[in-house]
A and B are shown apart, each in its own frame.
Chain A
Amino acid sequence: MAGKRYLVGIFGDEDIVLEAASTVRQKEVKIQEVYCPYPVHGLDQALGYDRPRMGVPAFFFGLTGTTLAFLLTFWTLGWDWPMNIGGKNFIPFPTNIPIVFELTVLLASFGMAFTFFITEGLGPTAKPVIFDERSTDDKFAMAIDLSKNKISDEEITQILKDAGAEQVNVKEV
């Protein structure tokens, strides 16, 4: 994958990078991504990303859990092998509510988490591109894919520096 060139602007403060994200984009520079050591609220809006909607997979996986739990409890004790337990109803309602609740939470949590891992490409075998190792410590790295920008390198470097970048490095991936 040689040949892809990036400019990496290094910022030292969350408020500066938050402003820089807007100003750099206003100058028609396309930002690949900003890598941060901790979440900066508002940065995703500044970069023009959609609001995250992890609640959607959580809801549907949760609904699956609810359905499976009802099927499990009704089918096992109601049809497959009905047992007379203290004269109680064969269809265990509402005594199956704890089971239904737990399985709903279990599937919603794991379903959402694995959706997150898959959409973000996270996994034990993932080979991440790290633009600057300090971006997991105390610096913010703004990566700009030069092949996707029509503006010259020097101009982008100047724009980044004007926006408050401490350094601008070239990185080939």
Chain B
Amino acid sequence: MSSVVSPIREHLVTNGKTHHDVTEDICRHVEAKPTKEWKIAFTISLIVLVYGSFWVMRTWWEGLGVWGLNKTVGWAWDITNFVWWVGIGHAGTLISAILLLFRQKWRTSVNRAAEAMTIFAVICAASFIVMHMGRPWLAYWALPFPNTFGSLWVNFNSPLVWDVFAISTYFSVSCLFWYIGMVPDLATIRDRATGIRKTIYGILSLGWTGGAKTWARYEDVSLILSGLSTPLVLSVHTIVSFDFATSVIPGWHTTIFPPYFVAGAIFSGFAMVQNLMLITRVVYKLEDYITLEHISLMNKIITLTGSIVGIAYITEFFIAAYSGVEYEKYAFLNRATGPLWWSYAAMMTCNVLSPQVFWSEKLRKNIVLSFVIAVIVNIGMWFERFVIIVTSLHRDYLPSSWTYFTPRMGDIGDYIFSFGLFGTLFLLFSKFLPVINMAEVKAVLKSSSERKPGDKH
């Protein structure tokens, strides 16, 4: 029952917060005028977004020639950024769905922001798809429209079409999950608000009253949505990996890709959540809700998934050697020792070695180190995709066409755009919507919070 307090688990909410304190602490940020720090951060994000938009416009106006692609390397930063953002976009649904199925109560403090991050990361990823279509005004050709609309029916045998279905389903279902989770909290804000705000949050909260029957069905819906989202989240990166694995390029054509991509996605997603939560808890003074215990648990998952990708890297090498296929062997040897060796070294150091520091509990609970490692992990995961994509392409079967890849300002500008977009969206979310799931935190408060001595509960 809810009133059982575990003597071994650390408290998830510290400092004797009451249910009313939870409402106050979270709603305060939604109700107050934007702070100076928020305005500065928002201005910076907007400037980055505008600068990046300039490059996206150039990409569309001049064509893909503004990128550093060449006749051998026909796919580089665009798809690297896409896979990187999609990977980051895995943590939110993972935290809310899989951790709900596993009854991990600590998810309650981080799930809202993680889900929001997921949605924004998927938007960033989708923007790269549209960017590298070349003719973005024909983006709808990716949908199954009748032949009279211009194109033929889409080819359902193609992993790129699977991708369209996977990403759009993932995006829609994540939005739904996020929004349904937010309805009770929006009702809390509605009941505290006055004037125009009451009307707006009244519409957004869909007339939620929190009746016991509604709550029972709501919990049933959440549980089934988690059950549906869990295979969905695993399918998305599996299908993204099919973009490569179903081709016959040495270095891409490997059966290990689906689990390896999914582990990597969880890895980078958790690192991004860690970064955002560490900033949010300081800026919004949420140290009692996002505690060192949360940070430590996140770090444990980062170490676990980092080690899984480490094993995958080594397995790939072993399989390449064991396969006896000359091209496969060369692709991997070239990856580690060829002209792009530095990217391989960056990947190995950042992803496999750096998270190992978290075996120490003291380091796991070190805030600065957690932040730094999370940044390093995301740099490493970007290099992982770069390594897979570019090193497999730049030396093909014909040595006369071997090249090197150097990014141009178009590649960099489009990447900057995605950061501006992500930052702007996340800041808007953190200002106007509750960053912590109040209802869920309140539900675990009695069993998992630190009570002041003398409290009657």
Chain A residues close to B by CB (< 8 Å): 13-15, 21, 33-44, 47, 49, 52-55, 58, 62, 72-73, 76-77, 80-81, 83, 85-86, 88, 92, 95-96, 98-99, 101-103, 105-106, 108-110, 112-113, 116-117, 119-130, 133-138
Contacts and interface: CB of A to CB of B under 8 A. Distances in A.
A124 B208 CA distance: 10
Contacts of B188: 37, 136-137
Contact of A99 (B1, B2, B156): B156
B239 to A, nearest CB: 6
B212 A34 contact: yes
B210 A35 contact: yes
Nearest to B147: A81
A124 B206 CA distance: 5
A85 B204 CA distance: 47
A62 B443 CA distance: 31
Given A38-B440, A124-B206, A136 B213 contact: no
The dominant DSSP class at the B interface is: helix
Residue among B154, B161, B166, B225 facing the most chain A CB atoms (10 A cut-off): B225
Given A15-B3, A44-B213, A137 B191 contact: yes
Interface of B: 1-3, 18-20, 23, 144, 146-147, 152-157, 159, 161-162, 165-166, 169, 172-173, 176-177, 180, 183-184, 187-188, 190-192, 203-204, 206-221, 224-225, 228-229, 231-232, 235, 239, 242, 439-440, 442-443, 446, 457
Given A112-B221, A136-B184, 18 more contacts: A34-B212, A37-B439, A44-B212, A52-B216, A52-B219, A80-B146, A80-B153, A83-B155, A92-B156, A95-B157, A101-B235, A102-B162, A105-B228, A106-B172, A109-B173, A113-B180, A137-B23, A137-B191
Contacts of A110: 172-173, 176
A62 to B, nearest CB: 8
Contacts of A126: 206-207
A89 to B, nearest CB: 9
